[in-house]
Structure 1
Amino acid sequence: MTAIADTAVPAAARPAPRVVATSPTAAAREFLTFRLGAEEYGIDILRVQEIRSYERPTRLAHSPDFIKGVIDLRGRIVPILDLRVKLQCPEASYTDFTVVIILDIGATVIGAVVDAVADVVSLTPDLIKPTPQFERQGHVDPAFVTGIASVGERMLIVMDIEALLSSDEIGLVSKVAQG
């Protein structure tokens, strides 16, 4: 399992390790859960390198709105994306709970700004239900939403972070990371 460095994150924003009961018949996968506004999302923990406190990135001219800029992460230039902007969520203010999740997306490392991390949950495939489809209004984009899981009283939107970015956007982010 990937280690999550939490030394740079305020104690209140760190995920509290927690295992959710799973079905004994299928292999469970772990997901890091985080909040964007009122919604809670989960991403595969194996994509997570570390969680850091939010620091203002260096803005790049003429970059898309969702790319907030870049930071120097131990000598590596890492593009910082605001998932609220990418997912068209209402703009939220940056607080002490705002963190950057450093992710390994194929050959690219990116930082994703989220409102707060919650915890790590273990889910089996049978606990992740398909997203509902709406005929009149289109449907939830299946390219990056892999399903919905009920975790206690919470609804968790399980997403494929790599699929969230189109191939053109991955190319753009890779160019940003290379300088």
Structure 2
Amino acid sequence: MAEEIKVIVFGLAHEEYGIEVEKVRTIERMMPITRVPKTPSFIKGVINLRGVVLPVIDLRGRFSLAESEETESSRIIIVAVNDLEVGFIVDSANDVIDIDPDFIDSPPEVVGGIKAKYLRGVAKIGDSRLLIMLNLSEVLNKSEIIQLEQQEV
């Protein structure tokens, strides 16, 4: 049996997603976001988190899902990918669980309207729960990372 991986579970458009704990820096409540001109619509802007300016991406917009209003449970998950820290706006951050990598299947072409390239796989938890595992390096693809890094003036 492979070593279990710890995963942060978050909600987005009535689906559950997972990001490995080691890629998550913090989970923050919603805070004021400053818009940045000439960025894709899913890049909501930047936040000042304890003196560090970080870009913020709306994952609903990134995956072409319907936008929703911010709620009391909305969160910004700060992740680190390839030396870049970015905030993801999600509907809720629910849980930390352990997943056996043997129970992660390859992603189908589309899950919940999201293309397979953004997904690492789908984890089966128990008998009925599925967790969509994100492929963070694709969610933040290289050209967008370059664009984000150039905004950090």
Question: Quick check: 1:116 aligned with 2:92?
Answer: yes
Partner of 2:124: 150
User: Cα offset for 1:140?
Assistant: 6.3
Per the alignment, residue 11 of structure 2 pairs with 35
Please give the per-residue CA displacement for 1:89-111, whole angstroms capped at 9, x wherever unaligned: 11111001000001111111110
Q: How do residues 1-179 of structure 1 correspond to structure 2 at under 5 angstroms?
A: 25-133=1-109, 141-152=115-126, 153-176=128-151, 178-179=152-153
Hey, what's the Cα distance between the residues in 1 that align with 2:144 and 2:39?
Answer: 11
Aligned partners of 2:63 and 2:114 also within 8 Å: no
Structure 2: give runs of 5+ residues left out of the alignment.
none
Three-state SS of the structure 1 residue aligned to 2:68 is: coil
Q: Is the 2:109–2:116 Cα contact (8 Å) retained in structure 1?
A: no
Structure 1 position 165, deviation (Å)? 1.7
Structure 1 pair 102/131, CA: closer, same or farther in 2 (3 Å)? same
TM-score (norm 1): 0.78
AA matched with 2:45: G
- The 1-side partners of 2:105 and 2:16 are apart by 15
Compute the RMSD of aligned alpha carbons.
1.7
- Identical positions, percent: 32
Q: TM-score, normalized by length of structure 2?
A: 0.91
Of the structure 1 ranges 125-134 and 115-124, higher mean CA displacement relative to structure 2 is found in 125-134
Gaps of 5+ in 1: 1-24
